[in-house]
Amino acid sequence: MERIRILYKNLTGFEPERIVALSAAGSNRQYFRVEGSSVQQAGAHPSTLIAVIGTSQEENHAFITLSHTFTQAHLPVPAVLAVSADEMVYLQEDLGNLSLYSAITTGREKGGAYSKEEIDLLRQTIRVLPQFQFLPVVQPSAQAIFQHCYPQQAMDRTSVMFDLNYFKYCFLKLQAVEFNEFKLQHDFEVLADNLLEDDDNTFLYRDFQTRNVMLKDGQPCLIDFQGGRKGPIYYDVASFLWQSSAKFSDTLRNQLIDEYIEAVNPFRPLSKEDFLPKLHLFVLFRILQVLGAYGYRGLWEKKAYFINSIPLAISNLRQELAVGTCDAYPYLKSVAQTLVALDAQKEQLRADEAAKKAKVQAYLQNDITYTQSANQSIGEGKTTHPLEVRVYSFSFKKGIPVDESGNGGGYVFDCRSTHNPGRYDEYKPLTGLDQPVIDFLEADGEILTFLESVYKLVDFHVARFLERGFTNLQISFGCTGGRHRSVYSAQHVAEHIHRKFGVEVHICHREQGITQILSPKSDQNS
């Protein structure tokens, strides 16, 4: 903070009034909004600036150098206004808070049904891209930026093989897909040759996507270009139009490709017929890159967002198989076909689990007739001592809970057959009451299948006890540590019984030291 304050004062002559930390998303850099109304009144500088504290001097230097070059060429980027002597801290223009990604949220959430206004923003953005790509061509002095690019000056064979091996080891291996490494490596070598056959002095933005476009006064401004380098123009178009989460339709992609080619032609004649085959080659390359990232962040680190994104990337891979992009790489094609077939099987499993979940929810919410019948029986029986149900979660290592009522009986359910969140570091400190664990268990689906049978047994038992005027029933759920699966199951079954029968339910998550009483509903005491 002190370094930001000094840099700001040296630039403006005023002390900052506020320095507010901003989200850094996936970056290691720290971002701050620096505010000062005195500066605005003086008229020398805007009222707000963005301060950046980096972790790599080389990365910062790349951004600062590229920003100066682009600003001098009047391209839409944030101008860098002040830099510390060691280049670890700098101040740049504030472009506001609205990214293109946020501006097209509605269309994205509608599965790619973008409005005219959203499509216009996408058109404007892709038409800006050639101005960056061809700057070193139309302005030879700008070729000096390649000397400052980080971590390398150009897209080369080494970087291509890094990405392809990322797919191999962080996706294929983690998917347990059998493959012949020598045959796959041969196709990778051929693919690399084809990707690198052009040697133009064009600029590869590298991370051209909707999150890296800010909208200032309705116009696109580009950020996060510090990973840029010399490279082919196709890469950025593939990255932008085949971003998995964007869900662009083929029609919209085709429209935006036309916009791009029209914007390129003032720099270099380009026909769509020549452009498309090479573009799809880079689409295939980007899909493999993305699957590598999703494999590492999802299958290895167990991040739900990346796991859920895998089917979207596989869908793009399926399309590239259909248009013949993989035909020149026969073994890679067979691997891709295996992945598509495997995803189809998983999609059927996902559909089956969704159906099970819907069935359980319907069972919990819509079985009113049976509930009313049970309540009517209670009213007619006029039980003097209403039924109390005790529901426990516990660890088998510490023994099954004792029935303190002295009646014995009831149920003890073993949850250890279901997928255990406790195997993953991010869930270890949580319990089955925490939303991330709930989401994990329900997305996996095994716990839902397990409880579907439990609900039927418990419902029958509670109904019969109510009819006979019994006063105590104990139900216990055990797992390895008494923390995740048993807690989830006990809580859900307890709430289900209370919701359906209205009886008093005592909940005890024994190993967590958590107790709760769900009071009887009024009609149970009448």
Return the pLDDT at 377.
47
Inter-residue long-range contacts of 61-67, CB under 8 Å, 24+ positions, other chains counted: 61/87, 61/148, 61/150, 62/148, 62/149, 62/150, 62/226, 62/227, 62/228, 63/225, 63/226, 64/90, 65/145, 65/148, 66/145, 66/148, 66/149, 66/225, 66/226, 66/228, 67/92, 67/225
- Does one domain contain both 220 and 368? no
**In a domain? residue 418:** yes
Q: How many CA atoms lie within 13 A of 484 on its CB side?
A: 26
- Does one domain contain both 369 and 484? yes
**In a domain? residue 486:** yes
Domain end marker among 72, 93, 114 = 93
- Does one domain contain both 142 and 239? yes
**In a domain? residue 435:** yes
Sign for the pseudo-dihedral over CA of 392, 397, 398, 400: positive
> Residues near 195 by Cβ (< 8 Å), separated by ≥ 6?
160, 232, 281, 282, 285
CA–CA dist 147, 127 (Å, integer): 26
**In a domain? residue 356:** no
**In a domain? residue 354:** no
- Does one domain contain both 42 and 69? yes
Domain end marker among 51, 66, 93 = 93
- Does one domain contain both 205 and 132? yes
Return the pLDDT at 27.
64
Interval 210-239 mean pLDDT = 95
Instruction: Please tell me the chain's helix, strand, coil percentages from 3-state DSSP, rounded to the nearest 5.
Output: 55, 15, 30
- Does one domain contain both 378 and 408? yes
Q: Provide the greatest CA pair distance for the chain.
A: 94
Return the pLDDT at 368.
45
CA–CA dist 418, 485 (Å, integer): 8
- Does one domain contain both 307 and 435? no
Return the pLDDT at 26.
57
> What's the CATH number where 224 sits?
1.10.510.10
**In a domain? residue 43:** yes
Cα Rg, the chain, nearest whole Å: 30
Q: Nearest-CA neighbor of 441 among 465, 458, 424?
A: 424
**Residue 418 belongs to domain spanning:** 364-524
Return the pLDDT at 424.
87
- Does one domain contain both 149 and 206? yes
In the predicted model, what is the mean pLDDT of the chain? 89
CA–CA dist 477, 413 (Å, integer): 5
- Does one domain contain both 69 and 29? yes
- Does one domain contain both 115 and 71? no
Phi first, then psi: give them for residue 14, nearest 5 degrees: -125, 155
**In a domain? residue 370:** yes
Q: Nearest-CA neighbor of 167 among 150, 187, 153?
A: 187
Q: Which amino acid, residue 8? A: Y
* Model confidence pLDDT, tens digit, residues 317-371: 999 999 999 999 999 999 999 999 999 888 887 777 777 666 666 665 555 444 4
Contact predicate 66/222, CB 8 Å: no
> What's the CATH number where 39 sits?
3.30.200
| Helices assigned H by DSSP within 73-156 | 100-103, 105-109, 116-133, 135-138
Please report which confidence band the pLDDT of residue 525 belongs to, taking 50, 70 and 90 as the band edges.
very low
**In a domain? residue 472:** yes
Instruction: Identify the residue with better confidence: 13 or 494.
Output: 494
- Does one domain contain both 108 and 224? yes
Nearest-10 Cα torsion for 275, 149, 160, 174: -120
Contact predicate 422/440, CB 8 Å: no
Instruction: Identify the residue with better confidence: 213 or 373.
Output: 213
Please report which confidence band the pLDDT of residue 383 belongs to, taking 50, 70 and 90 as the band edges.
very low
pLDDT at 508 over 80: yes
Q: Peptide bond preceding 151: is omega within 30 degrees of 0, i.e. cis? A: yes
Domain end marker among 93, 124, 141 = 93
Contact predicate 505/515, CB 8 Å: no
- Does one domain contain both 248 and 143? yes
Per the DSSP assignment, residues forming a β-bridge with 22 are 31
Contact predicate 311/299, CB 8 Å: no
pTM greater than 0.95: no
DSSP 434: S
- Work out how many domains the chain is built from and give that number: 4
Q: Which helix (H) or strand (E) holds 221?
A: strand 219-222
pLDDT at 99 over 50: yes
